[in-house]
């Protein structure tokens, strides 16, 4: 951090309109008001002395050249002092007067007699952290002036991308030692640059690489040897990209911790087309030819849509992330997305015959309307919580969310003894964290490229929403020291409120004098080690500030986690989430929602709650360690997530982030859309009491209760015109101790004189003291709170945010989900295996695996337990029976059992979303019904051996029933059915098989009315004489 320009800085407050104004370049803020900059436009800021620069700056622009210049190819402010307006008038740097011809070369400005020469500026001074040879050794941490006549400047180094076998390491060594001009030749291998105690432009050229030319082409000098020239390639080789953006065996990590080049060797299916296969503009011709009309060469930035150009050597950065930013106003054509090759759309450059995935996606149900989207096709916000399906999975999932998945990572990042494996032995790169508690071995002001902060990325990627789509992300996490005394400007930026982080140069100097390293560089991290470090910093930081403040620092560790979109490492389709079905994601234990992201490397990182502080407050009230720009699906609220436990403490190697915690809130909320006549807050406890937001003068360090920085922002809407106007006030006092004190600080200009509202205090507990705010709309207006208001300390959270449960597509009709836990359980239930349980048969409990259930012959009801948590129509229930080929469907069915005996009943339940099926089975014993009173089947007067031996005639008398069929089981293995309604039916003569060896038989008679058994006699004795 180092201020660059005198103008264009600060904010001015217009109390009459309650608005903050930002000065343009050519303006500055004097006594709270914007005024013309008398010194001129784009005047480099002068720190005034070397000591002042050491007190107020860490990485100056010159320091940026020496550090970040190892990868950033140069140009811009590494070569010029930007100055965009030719006539010196005020205006935006993107205005029509922008012209690179107005820039001031550092070669002349930063030399003896140049405009920078008398200044202590961020352009020509640096805090020495690399030492005289740029290798991190012998650093003095003092301010050093650079003469650009000696060092040269970082011009755009075209060959760093376009020359095969360019040496990133040589370029790094040169820029670290301020050999800026020499870095280009040294990196290209044209010669050798020897680092010394002072920077130099001298390179000892290799005569085999450069050939002397005398008089040829009318020019004396050197030209590239043919074997070198032929290595200059129009399309940058992927190996050159890898120097900065991949993990290579030599340098392992480079800047992949942040710059999205995360790469798992052997897993990226697109390696065959190289980096530029995707990073070329998607409006190129099918042959890959560049249209010169779309590539700007002038360097002029212009906001006019028709004039937007891609920068000359910008590899098609267009970006789709909330965290992307660029200076130049490009046309956002950008590099190619997955669809640009894998869809049927034309005009996107070369497509490499990429397969169209629609058929595969359709087969998996991903093109069916099953989910709720948040944005319409024109980017407008639409409701998505009603339970009505409005989109396909492809509408709400970025390709990477499913297709970047490493399943073949079978080798651990560390050996069993805890030592780091040889990097070339396995195909996993480290998604490194950033340790800002000290510098690395090369002198860089944070540790981010070493084994001590490496993480296994195989299954360590998270999720985040961007414009209603779910993206995969490397959760880039940084830890750093910060001061919790809001009344002490610990980093000398002139803005006290905000719990400042320390200057990294100060941290490095403190570590040097105390004999410390960055925490992750220590052999073992303990809570005692952290405590000792905190004590040392608190006791020794103030002399470095040059401040007369009597406030005491209160050091804490803090963390910031930012989701960086992960678009590389696309896996083979067979490894994608969902390749084997919905259960890959929508099943308990699948890991898609509940997988854990580990923050630290393979090292314990214990801490006490008293040693850490949350990064910031999101939504005006929620503590979070994840960047507030990480938002919910609608983009309407930050998804707050604390990683550090400020109460109980924890261990960063154990604690982590569950994937769902960065995309779903603990309780689903949304902004209250209603316009109101009155907004009343809740009671704000007095200083020193539990939950008080106010300054407590009696606290051990009062500044830890500072009130500075609170934002009050109110929207007023005119009843007549519907016009909405915002009014803002930012609290600048850190010592407000009451509601009345807050009102006095805001003043009548804000609390009484605005057209739309008034603000007053109210006494909610009738103790005679105002303890809450009340905002009342004036006549002709309604009001509501802006979501930028600090509603937590102001007691207004319930007036801005309301609970808004979600209803799922596949949920039961009455089911809604109030927060993350219930919602994720529901999402997991979608792919959960269905439960097949035969619950009851004829009202009898069939659970618990009984041997069989006995039922009476006739109609029987069979019921299954609910198959799962989804809506009933998301399951099918099919019943089959061993005594019939005809089955039934439904959770509860009625079936007629005609046949006596034991039958097998099978229930098959299917999840219709996943087609997964489960079964249950039970035996059912069917018995005849008990005789009904007045119903009888009698047999009397049996005649034997009629008409001959072994024959019998049996007369029947059937009473009390209506019937039309008689079934006789003779007892000799034969059965006969007669159609009759005769109550005195005589069974015709029947020969009993087995006679004369057997003379006693037991016959059974069943009487039916249709298919219904009406009466029976199962004990008719037939005894031959």
Residue 817 lies in a domain: no
pLDDT in tens, 684-702: 999 999 999 999 999 988 8
CA–centroid distance for 749 within its chain:
42
Distance CA 856, CA 745 (A): 86
Average pLDDT over residues 329-353: 72
User: Considering 927, 948, 971, which residue would you say is the last residue of a domain?
Assistant: 927
**744 and 703: one domain?**
yes
Residue 7 lies in a domain: no
Average pLDDT over residues 783-805: 96
Q: 512 falls in which pLDDT band (50, 70, 90)?
A: very high
Residue 921 lies in a domain: yes
Residue 466 lies in a domain: no
Q: Tokens for 623?
A: 């503590």
Residue 623: what pLDDT?
96
| CATH assignment at residue 899 | 2.60.40.10
Q: 259 falls in which pLDDT band (50, 70, 90)?
A: low
Q: Tokens for 598?
A: 């580990």
Has residue 425 got a pLDDT over 50? no
Domain of residue 169: give its range: 12-233
Q: 650 falls in which pLDDT band (50, 70, 90)?
A: very high
Least confident stretch, 256-270, 723-737, 892-906: 256-270
Has residue 313 got a pLDDT over 70? no
Residue 410: what pLDDT?
46
My answer on whether omega of the bond before 947 falls inside 30° of 0, hence cis, is: yes
**505 and 651: one domain?**
yes
The answer to whether 505 touches 286, Cβ cutoff 8 Å, is no
Listed residue (634, 218, 259) closest to 476, CA to CA: 259
Task: Specify the number of domains making up the chain.
Answer: 6
Average pLDDT over residues 612-619: 95
Average pLDDT over residues 195-219: 78
584: DSSP letter: G
Listed residue (606, 638, 603, 607) closest to 623, CA to CA: 638
- Mean per-residue pLDDT over the chain, rounded: 85
Average pLDDT over residues 266-276: 80
Task: Centre a 10 Å sphere on the Cβ of residue 779 and count the other Cβ atoms it contains.
Answer: 6
**775 and 724: one domain?**
yes
**608 and 721: one domain?**
no
What is the pTM (predicted TM-score) of this model?
0.84
Listed residue (190, 947, 271, 945) closest to 568, CA to CA: 271
User: Considering 884, 907, 927, which residue would you say is the last residue of a domain?
Assistant: 927
Residue 844 lies in a domain: yes
pLDDT in tens, 975-1025: 999 999 999 999 999 999 999 989 999 999 999 998 888 888 989 999 998
Q: 850 falls in which pLDDT band (50, 70, 90)?
A: confident
Has residue 302 got a pLDDT over 80? no
| CATH assignment at residue 783 | 2.60.40
Distance CA 335, CA 279 (A): 5
Least confident stretch, 144-153, 305-314, 521-530: 305-314
Residue spans of beta strands (DSSP E) within 778-874 = 781-785, 801-803, 838-841, 844-845, 852-856, 858-864
**223 and 300: one domain?**
no
Residue 286 lies in a domain: yes
**794 and 745: one domain?**
yes
- Higher per-residue pLDDT: 306 or 868: 868
**95 and 21: one domain?**
yes
User: Considering 312, 331, 356, which residue would you say is the last residue of a domain?
Assistant: 356
Residue 500 lies in a domain: yes
Residue 754: what pLDDT?
98
**22 and 144: one domain?**
yes
Q: 298 falls in which pLDDT band (50, 70, 90)?
A: low
Average pLDDT over residues 203-226: 80
- Higher per-residue pLDDT: 231 or 112: 231
Distances (CA, A) of 147 to 4, 43, 738, 883: 18, 19, 55, 99
Q: What percent of the chain has pLDDT over 70?
A: 84
**905 and 952: one domain?**
no
Has residue 214 got a pLDDT over 60? yes
For residue 724, the cross-strand partners are 717
Residue 107 lies in a domain: yes
The answer to whether 867 touches 810, Cβ cutoff 8 Å, is no
Has residue 237 got a pLDDT over 50? yes
**34 and 132: one domain?**
yes
Least confident stretch, 138-152, 262-276, 865-879: 262-276
Q: What percent of the chain has pLDDT over 90?
A: 53
Element (H, E) at 469: strand 469-483
Work out the angle between the directed axes of helices 527-540 and 504-514 (0-180°, nearest 10).
Answer: 110
Listed residue (319, 740, 918) closest to 565, CA to CA: 319
Residue 110: what pLDDT?
81
Least confident stretch, 23-27, 321-325, 591-595, 610-614: 321-325
The answer to whether 972 touches 925, Cβ cutoff 8 Å, is no
**121 and 203: one domain?**
yes
Residue 90: what pLDDT?
39
Has residue 758 got a pLDDT over 50? yes
**516 and 548: one domain?**
yes
């Amino acid at each position: 951090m180092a201020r660059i320009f005198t103008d264009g800085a600060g904010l001015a407050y217009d109390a009459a309109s309650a608005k903050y104004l930002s000065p343009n370049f050519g303006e500055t803020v004097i006594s709270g008001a914007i005024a013309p900059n008398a010194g001129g436009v784009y005047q480099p800021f002068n720190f005034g002395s070397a000591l002042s620069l050491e007190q107020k700056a860490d990485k100056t622009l010159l320091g940026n050249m020496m550090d970040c210049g190892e990868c950033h190819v140069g140009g811009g402010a590494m070569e010029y002092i930007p100055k965009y307006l030719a006539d010196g008038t005020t205006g935006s740097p993107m205005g029509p007067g922008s012209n690179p011809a107005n820039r001031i070369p550092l070669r002349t400005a930063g030399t003896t007699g140049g405009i920078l020469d008398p200044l202590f500026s961020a352009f020509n001074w640096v805090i020495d952290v690399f030492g005289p040879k740029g290798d991190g050794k012998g650093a003095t941490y003092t301010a050093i002036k650079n003469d650009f006549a000696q060092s040269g400047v970082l011009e755009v180094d075209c060959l760093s991308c376009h020359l095969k076998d360019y040496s990133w390491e040589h370029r790094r060594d040169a820029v670290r030692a301020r050999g800026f001009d020499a870095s280009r030749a040294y990196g290209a291998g044209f010669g050798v640059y020897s680092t010394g105690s002072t920077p130099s432009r001298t390179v000892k050229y290799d005569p085999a690489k450069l050939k002397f030319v005398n008089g040829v082409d009318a020019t004396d000098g050197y030209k590239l040897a043919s074997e070198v020239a032929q290595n200059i390639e129009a399309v940058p080789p992927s190996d050159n990209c890898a120097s900065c953006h991949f993990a290579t065996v030599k340098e392992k990590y480079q800047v992949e911790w942040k710059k999205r080049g995360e790469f798992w060797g052997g897993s990226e299916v697109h390696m065959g087309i190289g980096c530029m296969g995707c990073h070329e503009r998607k409006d190129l011709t099918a042959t890959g030819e560049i249209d010169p009309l779309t590539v700007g060469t002038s360097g002029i930035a212009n906001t006019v849509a028709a004039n937007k150009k891609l920068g000359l050597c910008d590899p098609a950065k267009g970006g789709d992330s909330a965290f992307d930013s660029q200076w130049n106003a490009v046309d956002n054509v950008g590099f190619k997305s997955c669809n640009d090759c894998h869809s049927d759309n034309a005009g996107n450059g070369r497509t490499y015959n990429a397969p169209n995935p629609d058929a595969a996606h359709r087969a998996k149900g991903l093109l069916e309307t099953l989910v709720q989207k948040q944005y319409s096709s024109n980017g407008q916000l639409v409701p998505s919580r009603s339970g009505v399906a409005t989109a396909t999975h492809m509408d709400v999932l970025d390709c990477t969310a499913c297709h970047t998945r490493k399943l073949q990572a079978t080798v651990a990042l560390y050996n069993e003894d805890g030592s780091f494996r040889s990097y070339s032995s396995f195909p996993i790169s480290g998604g490194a964290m950033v340790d800002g508690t000290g510098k690395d071995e090369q002198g860089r002001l944070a540790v981010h490229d070493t084994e001590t902060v490496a993480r296994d990325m195989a299954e360590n990627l998270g999720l985040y929403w961007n414009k209603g789509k779910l993206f995969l992300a490397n959760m880039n996490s940084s830890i750093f020291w910060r001061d919790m005394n809001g009344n002490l400007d610990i980093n000398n930026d002139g803005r006290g409120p905000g719990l400042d982080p320390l200057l990294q140069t100060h941290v490095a100097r403190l570590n040097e004098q105390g004999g410390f390293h960055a925490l992750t560089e220590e052999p073992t991290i303990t809570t005692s080690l952290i405590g000792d470090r905190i004590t040392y910093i608190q006791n020794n930081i103030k002399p470095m500030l040059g401040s007369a403040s009597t406030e005491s620092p209160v050091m804490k560790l803090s963390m910031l986690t930012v989701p960086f979109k992960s678009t590389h490492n696309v896996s083979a389709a067979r490894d994608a989430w969902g390749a084997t079905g919905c259960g890959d994601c929508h099943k308990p234990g699948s890991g898609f929602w509940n997988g854990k992201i580990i923050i630290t490397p393979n090292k314990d990182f214990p801490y006490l709650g008293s040693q850490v502080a949350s990064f910031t407050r999101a939504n005006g009230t929620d503590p979070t360690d994840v960047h507030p720009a990480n938002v919910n699906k609608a983009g309407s609220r930050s998804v707050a997530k604390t990683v550090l436990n400020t109460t109980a403490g924890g261990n960063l190697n154990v604690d982590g982030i569950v994937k769902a915690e960065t995309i779903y809130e603990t309780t689903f909320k949304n902004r209250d859309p209603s316009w109101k006549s009155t907004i009343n807050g809740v009671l704000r406890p007095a200083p020193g009491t539990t939950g008080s937001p106010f300054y407590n003068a009696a606290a051990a360090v009062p500044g830890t209760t500072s009130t500075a920085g609170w934002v009050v922002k109110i929207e007023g809407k005119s009843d007549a015109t519907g016009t909405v106007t915002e009014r803002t006030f930012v609290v600048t006092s850190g010592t407000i101790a009451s509601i009345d004190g807050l009102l006095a600080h805001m003043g009548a200009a804000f609390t009484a004189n605005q057209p739309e509202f008034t603000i007053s205090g109210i006494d909610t507990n009738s103790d005679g003291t105002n303890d809450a705010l009340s905002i009342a709309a004036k006549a002709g207006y309604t009001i509501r709170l802006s979501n930028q208001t600090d509603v937590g300390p102001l007691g207004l959270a319930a007036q801005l945010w309301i609970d808004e449960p979600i209803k799922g597509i596949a949920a039961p009709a009455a089911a809604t989900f109030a927060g993350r836990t219930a919602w994720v359980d529901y999402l997991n239930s979608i792919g959960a295996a269905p439960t097949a349980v035969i619950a009851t048969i004829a009202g009898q409990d069939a659970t618990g695996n009984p041997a069989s259930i006995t039922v009476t012959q006739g109609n029987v009801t069979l019921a299954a337990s609910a198959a799962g948590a989804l809506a009933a129509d998301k399951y099918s229930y099919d019943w089959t029976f061993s005594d019939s080929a005809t089955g039934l469907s439904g959770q509860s069915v009625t079936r007629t059992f005609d046949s006596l005996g034991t039958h097998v009943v099978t229930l098959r339940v299917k999840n219709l979303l996943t087609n997964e099926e489960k079964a249950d089975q039970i035996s059912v014993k069917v018995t005849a019904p008990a005789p009904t009173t007045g119903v009888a089947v009698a047999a009397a007067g049996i005649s034997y051996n009629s008409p001959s031996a072994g024959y019998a005639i049996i007369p029947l008398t059937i009473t009390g029933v209506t019937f039309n069929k008689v079934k006789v089981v003779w007892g000799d293995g034969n059965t006969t059915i007669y159609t009759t309604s005769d109550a005195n039916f005589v069974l015709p003569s029947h020969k009993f098989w087995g006679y004369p060896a057997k003379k006693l038989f037991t016959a059974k008679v069943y009487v039916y009315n249709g298919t219904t058994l009406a009466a029976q006699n199962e004990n008719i004795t037939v005894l031959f004489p």
